């Protein structure tokens, strides 16, 4: 469980998040939604201790993030950024292997290699394992980054727009993986723009608007025309197609 | 895949090249009292290798922390800062006989100040290192500022003390500050050894700040430690031969080409060996074969400058 209390966050001096208090349930898939610039990425980065709050606190299982030793936290929590720049020229396998660093400190055991292979297979990257990242398409690269996060094998998985650049088959695959991880008891938080996808896969939804908590609750309660229309200041309707909710703009 | 029992082949090749260059340097034109010549040349050889390793290793580590392959400590003004500190000390401490201090105490004082000043100036800058153009601009401004202040102070100091200051726009590879050679070699060996032992952490830091934090590396603390060691290595090489602006860039760029890997267990030793081979080889060629005295640093800096231009232009055209 992730507890967020009285959180204020500023980026380069300008306040971005204001007074956010909420709980992200353990073993559930939480969708983080809201308009561009609402602060979703900033909140996710704060949960992943990449950004320090100016006020308030984030707790993981009742213990403040800052109290965790660096390595222990990296074994329990992993985060995928929206725009993760990777400096050196790495192969897909190199990158995914770095996901094992918190566990093995760069000396990979057989178990580590198995985990790396498993993560690569889950994202359908076996054919690309030896390819350099800079020779991949945007979607293949995105999948490699997700595979790295999976290889890290953490209780908490934070994904910022993991569906960026993915075709519909791979988007479905990634959401299924997120679902499987949550069903296996992990706490998964995913920033999503596709509300139909959010409605289909998420248990819990947190909506941000202009840096404030706008709505939160079980998926059914938030994914309604009334809430979504005022969240995005755009008329939104929710239809049911083949027993699934589909979010449409009118 | 991370573990590597044998040294990389490129490292062994570079070691061979350096050994060949060293033998030529010691051997060519050696006449008369062989023992004396070998001792004399040997201590100069040690100084050259020390400078090369200090410059190359500090450059690679700096580029890893700052996440780019164009900036180097000297382009950012590190050695200009060291010279400024040297000058300020002469300027302010003349009354208490700074000039008569033994070279070790002088070096210790200068280096201590250098570590503090570089952490202060560059520590915060590196945290925003994603903005490359701003970093380059800041480096140029820092370098120019430090150099102008140094020459201003030089002018204010009266001529008798002016000679105390070792400020030159080019390094002097053939008039090494011999007093410090052994100390400098020891420091360089220790620091480089420590850095090579931490090669796995450096590999993670090279991925960028956020990825490194995600993988459990305390990036800010590590960057601070590494920056201190970079400043120490720059102090060592500047104290021995003066400022070398583009040599580090040349050595590092060649290293990345030759190594073809991101692993610091290869990059660090290879960069030191390549830099030492270039420096000793060039010194042999110019001093022993061609009989020129002062041109080595000019040629090396010119080559490094071209490499810098090439990297910048290639970056711009992408
Ligand atoms: N480095 C920064 N300095 C100052 N303000 C920033 C910085 N980065 C982002 N912001 C601002 O903070 C706000 C929140 O940004 P954030 O990236 O968290 O939004 P987001 O909800 O993830 O948007 P998107 O859907 O476009 O990804 C935006 O208004 C943005 O302009
Ligand atoms: Mg975002």
Domains of chain A plus CATH, in order, are 2-249 (3.40.50.300)
Q: What is the pLDDT of residues B84-137, one digit of tens each?
A: 888 888 778 776 666 677 778 888 888 888 888 888 877 777 666 566 677 778
Q: Quick one: which H or E segment has residue A110?
A: helix A110-122
Domains of chain B plus CATH, in order, are 37-317 (1.10.3470.10)
For A14, phi then psi, to 5°, come to -100, 130
Q: Which atom of ligand 1 lies nearest, measured to the CA of A193?
A: 25
B196 touching A, CB under 8 A?
A: no
C-alpha closest to that of A115 among A101, A131, A133: A101
For the cut 90, the answer to whether the pLDDT of residue B294 exceeds it is no
Q: What is the pLDDT of residues A221-233, one digit of tens each?
A: 999 999 999 999 9
For the cut 60, the answer to whether the pLDDT of residue B6 exceeds it is no
Q: What average pLDDT score do residues B6-14 get?
A: 79
How many C-beta atoms lie closer than 10 Å to residue A193's C-beta?
A: 14
For the cut 90, the answer to whether the pLDDT of residue B34 exceeds it is no
Positions of chain A with pLDDT under 70: none
Pinpoint the alpha helices (H) of chain B. 9-27, 34-66, 78-93, 103-127, 132-156, 159-162, 181-197, 199-205, 209-214, 219-241, 247-259, 264-283, 295-317
> CB of A146 closer than 6 A to ligand 1?
no
Q: Look at residue A142 in the predicted model and tell me its pLDDT.
A: 93
DSSP A167: -
Q: Look at residue B160 in the predicted model and tell me its pLDDT.
A: 59
Q: Look at residue B58 in the predicted model and tell me its pLDDT.
A: 95
Q: Look at residue A55 in the predicted model and tell me its pLDDT.
A: 94
Query: Is the ipTM beyond the 0.85 threshold?
Result: yes
B144 touching A, CB under 8 A?
A: no
Nearest CA to ligand 1 atom 7: A11
Spatial separation of the C-alpha atoms in residues A11 and A211, rounded to whole Å: 12
Q: What average pLDDT score do residues B150-163 get?
A: 69
Q: Which of residues 32-91 of A touch B (CB under 8 A)?
A: 45, 48-50, 70-75, 78-79, 81, 84-90
Mean pLDDT: which of B66-70, B127-131, B287-291, B307-311 is highest?
B66-70
Q: What is the pLDDT of residues B179-189, one digit of tens each?
A: 788 889 999 99
Q: Which of B200, B210, B262 sits opposite A90 (nearest CB)?
A: B262
Q: What is the pLDDT of residues B260-269, one digit of tens each?
A: 889 999 999 9
Q: Look at residue B5 in the predicted model and tell me its pLDDT.
A: 46
């Amino acid at each position: 469980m992730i507890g967020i209390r009285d959180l204020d966050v500023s980026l380069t001096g300008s306040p971005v998040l204001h007074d956010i208090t909420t709980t992200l349930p353990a073993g559930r898939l939480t969708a983080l939604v809201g308009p561009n610039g609402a602060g979703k990425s900033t909140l996710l980065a704060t949960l992943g201790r990449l950004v320090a709050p100016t006020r308030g606190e984030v707790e993981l299982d009742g213990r403040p993030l800052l109290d965790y030793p660096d390595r222990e936290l990296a074994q329990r929590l992993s985060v995928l950024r929206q725009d993760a720049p990777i400096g050196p020229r790495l192969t897909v396998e190199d990158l995914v292997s770095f996901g094992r660093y918190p566990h093995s400190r760069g000396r990979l055991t057989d178990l580590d290699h198995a985990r790396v292979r498993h993560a690569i297979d889950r994202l359908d990257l076996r054919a690309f394992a030896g390819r350099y990242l800079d020779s991949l398409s945007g979607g293949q690269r995105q999948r490699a980054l997700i595979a790295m996060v999976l290889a890290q094998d953490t209780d908490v998985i934070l994904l910022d727009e993991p569906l960026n650049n993915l075709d519909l088959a791979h988007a479905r695959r990634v959401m299924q993986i997120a679902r499987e991880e949550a069903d296996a008891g992990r706490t998964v938080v995913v920033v999503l723009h596709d509300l139909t996808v959010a409605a289909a896969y998420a248990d819990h939804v947190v909506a941000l608007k202009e840096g404030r908590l706008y709505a939160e609750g079980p998926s059914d309660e938030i994914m309604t025309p009334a809430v979504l229309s005022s969240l995005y200041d755009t008329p939104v309707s929710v239809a049911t197609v083949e027993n699934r909710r589909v979010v449409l703009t009118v | 895949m991370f573990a590597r029992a044998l040294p990389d082949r490129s490292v062994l090749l570079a070691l061979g090249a350096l050994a060949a260059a060293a033998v030529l340097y010691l051997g060519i034109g050696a006449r008369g009292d062989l023992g004396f010549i070998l001792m004399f040349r040997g201590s100069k050889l040690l100084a050259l290798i020390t400078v090369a390793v200090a410059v190359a290793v500090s450059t690679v580590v700096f580029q890893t922390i700052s996440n780019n392959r164009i900036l180097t400590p000297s382009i950012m003004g590190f050695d200009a800062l060291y010279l400024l500190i040297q000058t300020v000390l002469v300027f302010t401490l003349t009354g208490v006989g700074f000039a008569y201090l033994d070279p070790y105490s002088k070096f210790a004082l200068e280096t201590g100040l250098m570590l503090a000043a570089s952490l202060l100036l560059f520590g915060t800058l590196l945290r925003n290192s994603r903005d490359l153009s701003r970093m380059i601009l800041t480096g140029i401004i820092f370098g120019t500022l430090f150099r102008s202040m140094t020459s201003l102070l030089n002018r204010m100091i009266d001529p008798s003390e002016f000679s105390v200051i070792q400020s030159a726009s080019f390094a002097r590879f053939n008039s090494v500050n011999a007093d410090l050679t052994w100390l400098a070699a020891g420091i360089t060996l220790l620091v480089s050894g420590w850095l090579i032992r931490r090669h796995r952490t450096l590999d993670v830091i090279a991925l960028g700040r956020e990825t490194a934090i995600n993988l459990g590396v305390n990036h800010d603390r590590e960057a601070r430690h590494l920056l201190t060691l970079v400043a120490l290595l720059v102090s060592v090489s500047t104290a021995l031969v003066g400022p070398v602006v583009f040599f580090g860039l040349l050595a590092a760029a060649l290293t990345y080409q030759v190594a073809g890997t991101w692993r610091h267990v290869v990059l660090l030793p290879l960069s030191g060996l390549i830099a030492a081979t270039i420096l000793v080889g060039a010194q042999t060629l110019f001093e022993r074969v061609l009989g020129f005295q002062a041109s080595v640093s000019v040629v090396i800096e010119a080559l490094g400058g071209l490499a810098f231009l090439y990297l910048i232009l290639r970056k711009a055209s992408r």
